Amino acid sequence: MVDEAVAFRRDLHRAPELTWEEHETAAVIRRCLDAFGIAWRACAGTGTVAKLAEAAAGRSIALRADIDALPIVEASGVDWASRRDGCMHACGHDGHAATLLAAAGWLKAHEAELPGPVTLLFQPAEEGGHGAKAMIDGGALEGVEAIFGWHNWPAIPFGKAVCPDGAVMAGNGTFEINVRGQGGHASQPELCRDPVLAASAIVTALQQVVSRRISPQAPTVLSVTRIQADGGAPTVIPDGAVIGGSFRLGDPDTRRQMEELLEEIARNTAAAHGVEADVSIQPRYDATVNHAEQAAQFREALVAELGEGGLDVGLKTPIMASEDFSYYLNEIPGAFALVGADDGPGHQHPCHSPKYDFNDRLIEVVGRTYARIAGCPVKEQ
């Protein structure tokens, strides 16, 4: 099953599909489930919900994989590199899907021994598309009592993993600030209201949010990633400028404070420069916060696979990347783990890098871990 899952993963890597466009990916996954004899239904369009041991009397759990790719030109150099220009599996969702399929085949072979129902979620649109919310709205969690998910993480050595109680990944948001001034000739600034100067001052002032306005005990990142002025002539002061960026929040309670500070600093700094500023904020995802009981269960299964030292990782959590698995954990108890992928050349590149490639050795490790969480017999190695 692992060998077949590796071949499946590489085929999927050759044919990536972007957020909400995963039609071929969904079709291939569904054909695999048919071959296993596992009942499934479509959910959220390109998502799939499959069921095992529905009549079992024990606790009902769900196992989740995401399936979408990213708009990145691949430069990995692997034989199974993307054949679709400008699109690649740069975050390992191909590997996540393959791992869940490997686990699905094993669970189906031992379905009669499962203590409780198992739901398999093949979720679209994790990369900013709020696919988890769409799956929930489509009834994916009906009857489910606990949910488990994972992400490969090249910043952790292979054979190691983290699954803390509490926040494991940060929440995030994006913002855009439109600065409205009055343009004119660059030789007569006194007749203008310069939005470029004001925008520069706003960018500088925003750097004080994390260092001076938010508690150092609350992990937070604010990054300005874009500043652009109207027009384009060296002798013209433009009418307006746009500032864009993102923020990351390890503590969900910090979100309102961050949003209020963005509004306050942008408007007041603009006013001090004789211009106006309008702030637009997109909240994106909440922090991914593990529930203690399920995190302990996940850690127990990981230790069974990785050994007693498998959780001895220096990585501080929450990491500041974000995940829409947070939607599931806001609905029902569950846990999310980061499992190390770095075993040397080829697997040390970070997620979202054009050189990234999923480490296929993780398929057996996490497939077996999923089987343990489901209460399925696993042959000891």
Strands 184-185 and 146-157: unpaired
What is the DSSP secondary structure assignment for residue 9, as one 8-state letter? H
Report d(CA 50, CA 32) in Å as an integer. Answer: 11
163 is in an annotated binding site: no
Cα angle 178-260-276, degrees, rounded to a multiple of 5: 30
181, 239 contact by CB (below 8 A): yes
Question: What gap in Å lies between CA 351 and CA 152, rounded to an integer?
Answer: 9
Question: Is 352 marked as binding a ligand?
Answer: yes
Contacts of 128 (CB under 8 A, 6+ apart): 19, 284
Q: What DSSP assignment string belongs to 235-249? A: TEE-SEEEEEEEEEE
Would you state the structure tokens that stand for residue 265, as one six-digit string? 């600093």
d(CA 367, CA 350): 22
Task: Tell me how far apart the alpha carbons of residues 66 and 55 are, in angstroms, rounded to a whole number.
Answer: 26
C-alpha span between 278 and 267 (Å, rounded): 7
93 is in an annotated binding site: yes
Say how far apart CA 253 and CA 220 lie, in whole Å: 11
Dihedral angle of Cα 62, 67, 70, 74, to the nearest 10 degrees? 120
Residues in the annotated binding site for Mn(2+): 91, 93, 127, 151, 352
Residues in the annotated binding site: 91, 93, 127, 151, 352
